[in-house]
Copies of this chain bind each other. A is one copy, B any other.
Amino acid sequence: MKSALTELEEKGKAAKAASRKLAFLPTEIKNRALLSVAGALSARQNEILAANSQDYKESEASGMSAAMLDRLMLNPSRLEAMAQDVRTVAALPDPVGEVIEERTLPNGLQLSKKRVPLGVIGAIYESRPNVTVDISVLCLKSGNAVILRGGKEALRSNLALAKVVQEAAYKAGVPQGAVQIIESTDRALVDYMLKMKGTIDLIIPRGGAGLIKSVAENAAMPVVTGGIGVCHTYADKSADLNKAVAIAYNAKVQRPTVCNALDTLLVHAEIAPRYLPLIAQEWAKAGVEMHCDKRALSILKPIPSLKLVPAKADDWGKEFLALIAAIKIVDSPDEALEHIERYGSGHSEAIVAEDKSAAARFLNEVDAACVYANASTRFTDGGQLGLGAEIGISTQKFHARGPMALRELTSYKWIIIGDGHVRP
């Protein structure tokens, strides 16, 4: 244990030292490094896939679920998709050095605010090995060093991927030490990592609610929490029913296992008798199980072949991550807003309404990272919202909210140029 801790400390020091050089590494070198990483992901696919296959076999033997195995598995086309994502990040503008504000004060002082990297990012994540590459390249492009700590089940894959990233990046001119990965799977190392306040400037946990909660509670440095989404879609009495069906269907069915998927459908009582049967029949075709409040149940019961379950108290505010939706009928927009305030997680919330003032009130009053009118909550994603990439989705208000990419991995500094100026 002692030696793993010492190793972690050394990695921390190396990352910090590298971060100082990375902070003013020219954009061209960073981009060249990223393109070289992308190339290496293809060129060295044999060693990556060999490592991944060992992880896969071991996890399979230990009884990992098919869904989890699928998340773990790499193949040439997935590697190519990863390489393509790296090329996308290389093509994004460099946030570092961007001038956010610039002006000359009345006394002649020239003032500017310039973007700078945060320093060293610690990433603690589970399962999917592509996160190793995603986070590394987003950190490198934004001038940050990174210390990676992936899940045990993907250890060999993560180590192989990190090695490819490191070698390609360093060869292209990225300072040695900029990408660090923790090799020991000892849990105590995570606790120790969370205390390395002078070394790690920001921790990003990616994984289930348990991981995120534990990191948020124990980290001595700032943490970006997110990725937990209890998402509501409210069909107002002014809703266009076709749009409301399409949106709720997409939000629930298109990818049910992710944080921006619909969890609870709120329906205004006035349209419920017409709307609910329409969406329920569509959902039923996709296999969605519906946890209904009393009134919704009485509307839907007569319809054959629906998977209906009476809603229990803990269905409200639950992130299902599966083909399950809770349904509640409300008598007013106020009731919808109150329900969302009480049970939402501040991630993504939507209204379907033709009435512009109802939509405006919802967008104004709902306190969430992303608020939608007449669109699916599934759009909460860095790529979909035009950031070109994503390191995570923040559900906190501090520093960054919603999808985070390169800019959100930066801070700024004030630069003040005078000519012998002193304060009167």
Contacts and interface: CB of A to CB of B under 8 A. Distances in A.
A422 B261 CA distance: 12
Interface in A380-424: 380, 384-386, 396-399, 401-403, 411-423
B385 A413 contact: no
A367 B374 CA distance: 45
The complex is assembled from copies of this chain, and their number is 2
Contact of A370 (B24, B375, B414): B414
Given A379-B416, A398-B399, A398-B411, A422 B372 contact: no
Interface string A355-379: 0000100011101111111111011
Interface string A168-209: 000000000000000000000000000000000110000000
Nearest to A24: B364
A99 interface: no
Interface in A94-120: 103, 105, 109, 111, 116, 118-119
A246 interface: yes
Nearest to A380: B414
Given A23-B367, A105-B385, A398-B411, A420 B379 contact: no
B222 A365 contact: no
Contacts of A134: none
Interface string A237-274: 00010110011011100100000000000000000000
Contacts of A278: none
Contacts of A242: 420
A365 to B, nearest CB: 7
A187 B384 CA distance: 48
Nearest to A23: B367
A135 B311 CA distance: 45
A217 interface: yes
A22 to B, nearest CB: 12
A402 B414 contact: yes
A363 B415 contact: yes
Contacts of A217: 220
Contact of A419 (B243, B416, B418): B243
A397 B420 contact: no
Binding site of A, secondary structure by majority: helix, strand, loop or mixed?
mixed
A386 to B, nearest CB: 6
Nearest to A373: B417
Nearest to A118: B397
A35 to B, nearest CB: 25
A81 B202 CA distance: 40
Contacts of A413: 367-371, 401-402
A386 B113 CA distance: 12
Contacts of A202: 398
A24 to B, nearest CB: 6
A369 B370 CA distance: 30
Contact of A111 (B119, B246, B385): B385
Interface in A1-52: 20, 23-24
A412 B401 contact: yes
Contact of A386 (B105, B251, B372, B411): B105
Contacts of A105: 385-386
B386 A421 contact: no
* Most-contacted residue by chain B among A23, A103, A240, A421 (CB, 10 A): A421
Given A111-B385, A373-B417, 18 more contacts: A24-B364, A105-B385, A201-B397, A201-B398, A202-B398, A217-B220, A243-B419, A247-B420, A249-B422, A370-B414, A371-B414, A371-B416, A373-B416, A374-B421, A375-B417, A375-B421, A379-B418, A401-B413
Q: Top 3 closest A-B pairs, CB basis? A: A375-B418, A250-B422, A397-B411
21 contacts: A111-B385, A116-B367, A118-B398, A222-B222, A222-B398, A242-B420, A363-B415, A368-B413, A369-B414, A370-B415, A371-B413, A373-B417, A374-B417, A374-B421, A375-B417, A379-B421, A379-B423, A397-B411, A398-B411, A401-B412, A402-B414
